[in-house]
Chain A
Amino acid sequence: MADLEVLIAAIQDGDRATATRVTAEAIRDEMDPQSILDAMTAAMAEVGRRFQCNEVYVPEMLISARAMKEATALLEPVLIKADIRPEWTAVIGTINGDLHDIGKNLVAMMWRGANIKVVDLGTNVPAERFVEAARDHQASLIGISALLTTTMTGMRDAVAAIRAADLPGMRIMVGGAPVTPEFAAEIGADAYAPDAASAVDVAKGAVAAG
């Protein structure tokens, strides 16, 4: 029988070979897919905790997320067959005019690691594409990132455009180097996260509050 503790350790260590091997074994052994998924999300939650405590840093987080992604790819068909789906969907992207995406990508990875379905629109995303994707994917939350002070100000227009669209209950979360909680509140966003690890709890809290 596959050992899910080994899977957890492999994801935490970014050991993708072991993570995919144990996942394949667990599927072969017909283990409960929910328990396999829970092991993966627990592993990424621990990675997030360690990141927040400065026990691990961006490279370690990236290799953990990569191990998680490759293991999840094996598990996904099994989850679909068992009708196990993410609880809700988030749309994410970097604001119009901004091509920087490492921070945004880290948030998307951590959200996926927490079993949130993520629709990643990439960089340089205009407000109407956020609205369109949120509608098409019946998203509960839109995440907007900016690295530059010159593009950060565009978040105000994006939030206004999303509010003006017919998306009842949509939660909006913002982040990125120059963004502050005060700015987030000022432009009418529902939530702000300072880093990718805290973005999981902040997003869950925002959606729960919505």
Chain B
Amino acid sequence: MMTSRQCLQATLEHRQPDRVCVDLGATFISGAHASTVSKLRQALVDDPAYRVRIIHPLQLNGEIDEILLRELPTDVIGVFPSMTAFGFRNEDWRPWQLFDGTDVEVPGGFRPTADGNGDLLLHPGGDPSALPSARMPRGGHYFDPIVRQEPIDEEHLDPADNTEEYGPLGDADLADFARRARLAATETEYGVFGTIPGVWGYGDAMVVPAVGLRRPKGIRDPEEWYMSLVARKDYVHAVFRHQTELAIENIGRLAAALGHSVQAVRICGADFGGQHGPLISRRTYVELFSPYYRAINAAIHASTGWKTFKHCDGSIYELIPEFIADGFDILNPVQTSAAHMDARTLKQEFGKDLVFWGGGVETQSTLPFGTPDEVYREVRERIDIFNDGGGFVFAAIHNIQPNTPVPNLLAMIRALRDSRRTSEPDR
């Protein structure tokens, strides 16, 4: 019987694993909202007082702790940077409560303030005296960046302003990340995914507003950024070029420090797809993004055995061949609910070249709004389609939302257990 690490490796190498490889929270985009993790944990573990930790301060992802992990049919664990996008660390945990009443734990630097409407505001560096950079509406489930765009003076735009938040990886951060990655690889038999620090998304709408900066300069409004892709191409190239140079330096140090401890790493989470078609043209993608993705993928493949993971929501069928040509190994979240993203077609056309990490169950429809039987059937069907010949890591299509009924989560887990041909490996 394969260990989980072997199961993931076989999957990544397009060999048929002895059971479907499963990820339930090893990345920031294949997990679940803390409210959902808390409900699931209460259903599976007899510990009602336990507070799930929030490990992503915008999306409010819940941590899959060691005890919950043992109760789940999963093969992959994640290593995350300790530093958040806001510039505070995931440490010094303290109690907090979500709007829906869920008791959780948050990092000490997670210190939201309330505005006059009862909305919650987060601040750069976790410093409440700094102007806020993210907001969660009263009763909401997520923080979103606040657009802080200074007036744009076209003549004096400086690409360096848009890379202010990037730089060489600090020695302490590198050592800390490497230590945790090695522990994951040597002390467990799980597969290990790395959300590596020091490699940043390219024009990601969640990254552009720079929630960690007190006074971001340059192009910081996502709409202005979109326009820049056709109206300020030289500027975008200059930003991406510098970002890539820094990232490649960091990759060299990460490769030496991490070795084989991680098997796959996240490169970029920029979304190029909407529900009904791509947001940008193939031409824009090839001209502006491909050169830099190629450079990053080449640097990783030249110095490591890691597989590279591209997250991209939406209807992106026509961009997938470009992702492959650029050297990406893994696509996530495989949004089969979007136009032209039929699961069988994707598997047939791209399954030999790409690992699908996602596409396991619909989080826009079936999982939150379907019946448990519908969830069960969909999960089994997706596994039958995507896992044929390997190259599939089961994950929901993006994070599982906070309005998902527990019986549906349990139906998903039951379907996963039933589909795994052998019993769980001993750990």
Contact = CB atoms under 8 A, between A and B. Distances in A.
Given A54-B277, A57-B279, A149-B401, A97 B139 contact: yes
B345 interface: no
A83 to B, nearest CB: 33
Contact of B135 (A62, A63, A99, A105): A99
Contacts, number: 82
Nearest to B277: A54
A195 B137 contact: no
Interface string A148-179: 11110100000000000000000000000110
Interface string B346-367: 0000000000000000011100
Interface in B267-294: 274-281, 284
A149 B230 contact: no
A102 interface: yes
A195 B223 contact: no
Nearest to A153: B403
B280 A97 contact: no
A38 interface: no
A14 B232 CA distance: 12
A66 B227 contact: yes
B117 to A, nearest CB: 8
Contact of B284 (A59, A66, A99): A59
Contacts of A58: 226, 274, 279-280
A135 interface: no
B401 A14 contact: no
Given A150-B141, A194-B275, A63 B230 contact: yes
| Residue among A58, A66, A100, A178 with max Cβ neighbours from chain B (10 Å) | A58
A60 B228 CA distance: 10
Interface in A116-134: 123-124
Given A59-B280, A97-B137, A149-B403, A177 B275 contact: yes
A57 B280 contact: yes
B227 A62 contact: yes
A23 interface: no
Contact of A97 (B140, B226, B364): B140
Interface in A97-118: 97-100, 102-103, 105
| Residue among B142, B205, B365 with max Cβ neighbours from chain A (10 Å) | B142
A88 B415 CA distance: 53
Interface string A53-91: 010111110110010000000000000000000000000
B139 A195 contact: no
A96 interface: yes
B274 to A, nearest CB: 7
Given A150-B401, A177-B275, A102 B223 contact: yes
A195 B401 contact: no
B165 interface: no
A57 B281 contact: yes
Q: What size tier do the contact residues of chain A reach?
A: 20 to 34
B211 interface: no
B392 to A, nearest CB: 24
A178 B365 CA distance: 8
Contacts of B140: 97-99, 124, 151
Interface in B138-161: 139-142, 144
B130 interface: no
B201 to A, nearest CB: 17
A60 B280 CA distance: 9
Contacts of A123: 137
B197 interface: no
Interface in B194-225: 205, 222-223
B276 A195 contact: yes
B229 interface: yes
B222 A102 contact: yes
Contacts of A97: 137, 139-141
B226 A62 contact: yes
B402 A63 contact: no
B144 A57 contact: no
B372 interface: no
B276 A150 contact: no
Contacts of A195: 274, 276-277
B74 to A, nearest CB: 23
A14 B279 contact: no
A14 B137 CA distance: 34
B403 A57 contact: no
A159 to B, nearest CB: 17
A100 B144 contact: yes
Nearest to A62: B227
Nearest to B222: A102
B349 to A, nearest CB: 19
B109 interface: no
| Residue among A56, A57, A97 with max Cβ neighbours from chain B (10 Å) | A57
Given A99-B137, A149-B364, A194 B144 contact: no
6 contacts: A62-B226, A66-B227, A98-B137, A103-B274, A148-B401, A178-B364
Interface of B: 119, 135, 137, 139-142, 144, 205, 222-223, 226-231, 274-281, 284, 363-365, 368-369, 401-403
A-B pairs, 6 with minimum CB distance: A99-B144, A124-B137, A59-B230, A178-B364, A59-B229, A177-B275
